[in-house]
A and B are shown apart, each in its own frame.
Chain A
């Protein structure tokens, strides 16, 4: 249950930014679908829904998606659908149901840096960018490790994305995935990202290197490497050893899919 005493509804991003800086502990409200799972009552919440952050536009060869755009709006937008042959939209489509995706925002999905995120691996593989309220631009990789709290204004992608594929494994449809991954193939260079370990998606550097150097012949070696190079843990969705085994399978499937 989302519980709070006072709600501020700033009408501009600047106003919201000033409020957020003055009230460092007040949550920024995307859809609130995630925030509402917390069992506490906040004195103040800052609603971003009236700040004009619900746009999708193309500027100078980049796709710019305002942070209050819903997952469903992305799924239905033609430019987003065509990004990397649909890899971005495919990742979003796997999340719960249409009702939920009509509410959950891309800003909350990126800011949450969820380990189980279907979106984060493909966001990394697409070399997405995060633009903060003060127009600071961070790469997806830097934002994953960024610890300060700032409002996300928008996320961006180059429209000329190379081949990217993403996959997630879940026990049943609409459940949280227990392992996620994405791959980027750019001029014989591979980048493989694995999430849901259960930590946030991260690059499997050595695994990517093996596939780049050995091609499909190097797959058995890459499948072993991913198990030792990344950290895996157990939680209610899967054990550490199961995650390791399935991460190896994911690497194989990702390499095969991006080479189709």
Chain B
């Protein structure tokens, strides 16, 4: 039995049909929001990171039915800022296969809203749930610093 749900995604209202056990990851991809991707499906990798009311969550483990009445944001809803962050990361060689990048960017942009001038340790603490198998994280850290410094000006 599917449910009819109202979702607020990236400032737009959608009416969707979803099974009671459907996860937000599936619903968002069905809406064509392909920045939201599945890496592990076991809450380990952070690739499926989105925002619910500005807080980062894992859409692979968040029931769509629970998203009603909340504000959902994906990378598509943060286009310009995401493009700039992408440039900062690329300029430091921080994306290799690029698979982890969308989820990591959602975390970085959330961090900036909570703390405009985080220390390196605070950045690492906030991003520990975003795994990258290519970069070794150092180039990501440099790219993130570049982005945060530019955004703070």
Contacts and interface: CB of A to CB of B under 8 A. Distances in A.
Interface of A: 1-7, 9, 31-33, 36-37, 45, 47, 49, 72, 93, 96-100, 102-103, 173-174
A2 B30 CA distance: 19
Interface string B86-121: 000000000000000000000100000000000000
Contact of B56 (A31, A45, A102): A102
Interface string B41-54: 11110100100000
A117 to B, nearest CB: 16
A21 to B, nearest CB: 22
A97 B130 contact: yes
Given A4-B21, A45-B21, A102-B56, 13 more contacts: A5-B20, A36-B43, A47-B63, A96-B44, A97-B46, A99-B58, A100-B129, A102-B57, A103-B43, A103-B58, A103-B62, A174-B44, A174-B128
Contacts of B20: 4-7
Nearest to B66: A49
Interface in B117-143: 125-130
Interface string B65-78: 11000000000000
A28 B129 CA distance: 26
B63 A97 contact: no
Given A36-B61, A174-B128, A174-B129, A99 B107 contact: yes
Interface string B14-26: 0000001101000
A9 B46 CA distance: 28
B129 A96 contact: yes
Identify the interface centre among A2, A31, A98: most chain B CB within 10 Å of its CB: A98
Contacts of B125: 93, 98
29 contacts: A2-B21, A2-B23, A3-B21, A5-B1, A5-B20, A5-B21, A7-B20, A7-B63, A31-B61, A32-B63, A33-B58, A36-B43, A36-B61, A37-B42, A45-B21, A47-B63, A96-B129, A97-B46, A97-B127, A98-B125, A98-B128, A99-B46, A99-B57, A99-B58, A99-B107, A99-B129, A100-B43, A102-B56, A103-B58
A56 to B, nearest CB: 16
B57 A103 contact: yes
B52 to A, nearest CB: 8
Contacts of A173: 128
A173 B57 CA distance: 19
A89 to B, nearest CB: 13
A93 B122 CA distance: 12
Contacts of B66: 47, 49
A260 to B, nearest CB: 21
Please list the 7 inter-chain residue pairs (A to B) with the smallest Cβ-Cβ separation, ordered nearest first: A97-B129, A7-B20, A99-B56, A97-B128, A99-B129, A99-B58, A4-B21
Nearest to B61: A33
A47 B46 CA distance: 24
A239 B49 CA distance: 34
Contact of A102 (B1, B21, B55): B55
Contact of A32 (B61, B126, B128, B129): B61
